[in-house]
Every structure is written in C-alpha cells, then in structure tokens.
Chain A
Amino acid sequence: KAGVTQTPRYLIKTRGQQVTLSCSPISGHRSVSWYQQTPGQGLQFLFEYFSETQRNKGNFPGRFSGRQFSNSRSEMNVSTLELGDSALYLCASSSRDRVAEQYFGPGTRLTVT
C-alpha cells in the first residue's frame, strides 16, 4: 500500500505571497491531519479533516486554512506569508477504526524569504 504523499517537497516563497500544499492519504484512510514543525515550537497541530469536514483546529491564525476533497486528498493554504511560517509541514492520515494511529508523509519544507 502506498504511503502518504505530499507535494511539493520543497518550496520557497516571499513574504506576502500565498501557498498551497497538497497531501494524498493512504488509500482507504479518511482522516487527514496537518502539523507544523519548527525547531523552536516543535510539532504543532494545525487541523484535522474527516469526510471533507474540519473536525479539529489548532491554535493558528485564520491565514492558515485547509480543505479535504471527496477522494480524501487534502490541501492546506497559507495566505499572506510571514517569515515565521518557514517550517516543515507534515500531513498524517489514519483510518477511523485505528485508534489515533497516524501515518505521516515526508513533509513539505517551506521557506519564506
């Protein structure tokens, strides 16, 4: 079974721009979660989607948004980028019958200049 895939793997943007990251979960998984990983803050939960509905949201500003499509693929959008948004963005998927067992993708490394 193919793992979680994320595209692109690397991205460089300038302040004020917006960016869209994509995540394809493991086949059959309907839950997708997004995390931001930085050296200073560690891993922080952004949001989680299940069946195209956002079920949980972390403590991030409204510039961070996401959505999930009917095939469970998910996108994350960050508008008006700031230098502090530079991070590794990780996506994780899970099947509902596996208690909180998440499988992570390799991440998208975003650099904001």
Chain B
Amino acid sequence: GNSVTQMEGPVTLSEEAFLTINCTYTATGYPSLFWYVQYPGEGLQLLLKATKADDKGSNKGFEATYRKETTSFHLEKGSVQVSDSAVYFCALSEDNYGQNFVFGPGTRLSVLP
C-alpha cells in the first residue's frame, strides 16, 4: 500500500537557520503531495502542495519540489523563525475524489531564539 516516510524528530534549530525536513513516499500511481503544519493545540493547516512531477509548492517561505525519480518531497525554508515551531506532516493522496490521505508520522520542529 501507499506510505509516507519522514525524518525522525525532533529537529531543533536556531532562528534564521536553514531547514530541511525529508519526506519520501511509496505509491502505486501518481499521487498529489502535501505538507501540513500543526501548531500546538490546533488542527492541521495546509502549508503547500504539488500535484505532478517537478511541481514546486511554496508558501510562507517554505518550498518543496515533487521529485518523481527519487519519490521525494522534501520541505525547505531558508531562514526559520521561532513562530515556525510546530509539527510538520508530509502526506499523499492518489484519489482525487475519495480523498483517502496517507500521512507521514510528523516531524516536530523547535526553533530557538
């Protein structure tokens, strides 16, 4: 079946450091890929998405490129802020209508001032 693997956390960085959170996936077809963020005490928020190979999703300084050849969708940000501290989930969906998402385990990011 489909699956998503993320780098183990927690990840602790200093403010203004460069962030990479690795995500790789296994899917039988051509999924859409997503990054969601969960702040403490809240639900998940869609951060960015890519629907086909070589697409780059971007939002709030975060970027991720859909790499079909390496089945990856790594999340990057050039300069993190304390307010970026949260749990980040990589996810995929092969079913446009059933919306049967598969989420990765999440990576907790802590940014220190």
Contact = CB atoms under 8 A, between A and B. Distances in A.
Interface of A: 4, 6, 31, 33, 35, 42-43, 45, 48, 50, 55-56, 58, 90, 92, 94, 96, 99-107
Contact of B103 (A6, A42, A55, A105): A42
B10 to A, nearest CB: 13
B58 interface: no
Interface residues of B, number: 25
Contacts of A92: 43-44
A100 B93 contact: yes
Contact of B99 (A4, A48, A105, A106): A48
B112 interface: no
Given A90-B44, A106-B43, A99 B96 contact: yes
Interface in B43-87: 43-46, 49, 51
Interface of B: 32, 34, 36, 41-46, 49, 51, 89, 93, 95-106
14 contacts: A33-B101, A42-B104, A42-B106, A43-B106, A45-B101, A55-B98, A56-B100, A92-B43, A94-B99, A99-B32, A99-B51, A100-B95, A100-B99, A106-B43
Contacts of B96: 99-100
B46 A101 contact: yes
Given A33-B101, A58-B100, 17 more contacts: A42-B104, A43-B101, A43-B103, A43-B106, A45-B101, A50-B97, A55-B98, A56-B99, A90-B43, A92-B44, A100-B32, A100-B34, A101-B46, A101-B49, A102-B99, A103-B46, A107-B42
